[in-house]
Amino acid sequence: MPDHPTPASLHLYHWSPTSRRKQIQRYGFRPGSRSLDGAWRPPFVCFSDDPHLAWSLSGYIHPEITSWDLWLVSDQVVTGYETLSFDGGPLDGQVKEYRVYERIPARDAWYVATREQDTA
């Protein structure tokens, strides 16, 4: 038996450009939506169990987008996901990304905060 309790649920975080807020509030997260560069339609939505790590999957790699919203989803509303883990280094084996292949309705996506990129 583990010496620490298993969490009742896992919180998953996703950063999205603020320009997509109304779309998310209306439709939720939809796999197959155009990528930020418009080059492809990933069949999943990426999440992380840490908001800072989620930032590195989105906002950090797109400094040209100046305003980002942080969203929270409970794994209680996600029936399945694929995980990608770090390979090597101090975080070896830890999950870095949760890929969710199903639509997450707007009622299950909670807006947390907005982050403005430092443009200076």
Q: What is the pLDDT of residues 31-55, one digit of tens each?
A: 998 888 788 899 999 898 889 888 8
pTM: 0.81
Domain spans in the chain, listed from the N-terminal domain onward: 11-116
Q: Distance between CA 30 and CA 37 in Å, rounded?
A: 17
Q: Which of 114, 6, 107 is nearest to 68 (CA)?
A: 114
Mean pLDDT estimate for the chain: 83
CATH assignment, 11-116: 3.20.170.30
